[in-house]
A = this chain, B = another copy of it.
Amino acid sequence: MNPISILPTGIIQQHNTEDTANNRQRLAKKIAKLATQGARLIVLQELHDSLYFCQTEDVNAYQLATPIPGDITRFYSKTAKENGAVLVTSLFEERLPGLYHNTAVVFDSDGSIAGKYRKMHIPDDPSYYEKFYFTPGDLSFEPINTSIGRLGVMVCWDQWYPEAARIMALKGASMLIYPTAIGYEPQDTPEEQQRQRDAWITIQRSHAIANGLPVVSVNRTGFEASPDEKASGIRFWGSSFVAGPQGEILYQAPTDEETEAVVNIDLSRTKQVRQWWPFLRDRRIDEFEPLTRRCCKN
């Protein structure tokens, strides 16, 4: 693995429909376009092949799940190879009938599966009923080795946990990557919507700062109605972004438009920034045992 300094990173923020074949074909076209523009790493949004089906608990949605490897991974494997780019995908994994995960699969530029990450933190809130569908991951927080570096890939809800980001950094991740599906509750006030989106950006920037690493976060965009007529659907807030190792925003997509972009990430800044801000030097690990507890109150 040769160390890369400047890594052209492609991100695809898409508005999905219920036509999964079409969603996938549109992604393949955009991947080809970004590769032509020089992208060596391309990151897709969470569960990018379908609608965000977790707005309700519906056993029919399991039809969307795929074995790994399977036809879907063969499709993305071919796409990665044809475009010579490392590809971070997010799939609904059928591990066994009745056992499902929310799984990021990373394809290397030769089309091989470099590794997978099973979402560790599973949310469950109104409109995000993920605990119904996904068993929490059992592959730990383990960066995935690729030809362009050791990628700290996680998924959505993981992004709210500084512990997860730190472990990826301690295990030698060269960057953090979060495929995501998050949006506004249409009935919230504009102020509350703004606070939530701002908190989402802030917490991920803070992982860059605390760990001196770039962060890539790719979210979906557009409105998806809920199958439950009493629920008001989700307006996904887009805002996919790339931050450098001081948390500085290098690129940010609009909230409400499909977007593809290539962002140059200077991986050599990690070492510089960590020398200026030597946070890893001073961690009080002798006093961090409480982090492995649920709570310190009985």
0/1 string, A167-185, CB within 8 A of B gives 1: 1001110000000000000
Q: Is A279 an interface residue (CB 8 A)?
A: yes
Q: Does A230 contact B (CB under 8 A)?
A: no
A103 within 8 Å of B (CB atoms): no
Other-chain contact of A247, B122, B163, B202, B288 (Cβ < 8 Å): B202
Chain A positions 154-207 with a Cβ under 8 Å from a chain B Cβ? 157, 160-164, 166-167, 170-172, 195-196, 198-199, 202-203, 205-206
Given known contacts A120-B284, A285-B292, A296-B170, is B205 in contact with A248 (CB within 8 Å)? no
Closest to A201 in B: B202
Apart from A163-B163, A203-B209, list 19 A-B contacts with CB within 8 A. Answer: A120-B284, A121-B282, A123-B282, A140-B287, A157-B282, A161-B284, A162-B163, A163-B284, A167-B287, A167-B288, A170-B290, A171-B297, A199-B246, A202-B202, A202-B205, A202-B247, A203-B247, A206-B209, A280-B295
Residues of A within 8 A of B (CB): 120-123, 125, 136, 140-141, 157, 160-164, 166-167, 170-172, 195-196, 198-199, 202-203, 205-206, 209-210, 246-248, 276-280, 282-285, 287-297
